[in-house]
Copies of this chain bind each other. A is one copy, B any other.
Amino acid sequence: MLLGILFIASIAMIKQKKTRVLFFGDSITQAGVGPQGYITKLSDMLKDKNLDAQYELLGAGIGGNKVYDLYLRMDSDVLAKNPDVVVIWVGVNDVWHKASYGTGTDPDKFQRFYEAIIKKLQAKNIKVFICTPAAIGEKTDFSNELDGDLNKYAGIIRNIAKNNNCPLIDLRKMTLDYNLKNNTDNKDRGILTTDGVHLNDAGNNAVADIMYNALFK
């Protein structure tokens, strides 16, 4: 994350204005700006460190969004806001909606849209951080129905990070590790999420911690 840190720090110094960090995603990010949300927690952490004068955090999450929905609304919801940094967190619905609605996203198209978003952002000299999807179900005995597919998409995102020079925030790995330690009862929810997908308070804390380290340290 060192490069990311230096990069953001340098933006902050040169511009003499607040570095604008935009969080771009689905319902999880939409909830991130709520009172207990991970973006709100990040803001509080910056205040605690007296860094709040240097950073402005913006949420741009919409429930149900898949990668192509992000692509469709990136002009109005991202570029129009002139962010210095964009954190993309998407993928749960691309997998989940396959079974629930028959409207998930094919893996090759997932990659294509994801990289098209990154290219457009990088062309504007926006620093792009990308995240793996955290969880659809928290069971630790490898029986979450969609884990195989979710791991596949997480793998695609890890490759995208490498090939497009984007720092990776591996929420999938963080969630799996956290659950292996803390979910010895093999619960399907309630550890980091309320419902297997959306963050509870512990989840918002865990995500805020890993993001703080990636973005601001």
Binding site for B on A (CB under 8 A): 68-69, 71-72, 97-99, 101-106, 109, 112-113, 116, 137, 141-149, 151-152, 155
CA distance A151 to B104 in the complex (A): 21
B103, B109, B145: the one contacting A152 at CB < 8 Å is: B145
Closest B residue to A153 by CB, please name it.
B143
Interface of A is mostly: helix
B148 near A116: Cβ-Cβ < 8 Å: no
B142 near A147: Cβ-Cβ < 8 Å: yes
CA distance A211 to B111 in the complex (A): 35
Closest B residue to A66 by CB, please name it.
B109
Cross-chain pairs A/B with CB under 8 angstroms, 30 sampled: A68-B71, A68-B72, A68-B113, A71-B72, A72-B112, A72-B113, A72-B116, A97-B102, A98-B99, A98-B102, A98-B103, A99-B102, A101-B106, A102-B102, A102-B104, A103-B103, A103-B105, A103-B106, A103-B109, A141-B155, A142-B148, A142-B151, A143-B149, A143-B151, A143-B152, A145-B148, A145-B149, A145-B152, A146-B148, A147-B147
Residues of B within 8 A of A102 (CB): 97-99, 102-104
Residues of B within 8 A of A112 (CB): 72
CB of A100, distance to nearest CB on chain B (Å): 8
Contact flag A141-B151 (CB < 8 Å), given A102-B98, A105-B103: yes
Residues of B within 8 A of A142 (CB): 142, 147-148, 151
Residues of B within 8 A of A149 (CB): 143, 145
CB of A80, distance to nearest CB on chain B (Å): 16
CB of A193, distance to nearest CB on chain B (Å): 16
B69, B99, B106: the one contacting A99 at CB < 8 Å is: B99
B148 near A69: Cβ-Cβ < 8 Å: no
B109, B144, B146: the one contacting A69 at CB < 8 Å is: B109
Residues of B within 8 A of A104 (CB): 102-103
CB of A40, distance to nearest CB on chain B (Å): 29
B155 near A143: Cβ-Cβ < 8 Å: yes
CA distance A106 to B98 in the complex (A): 11
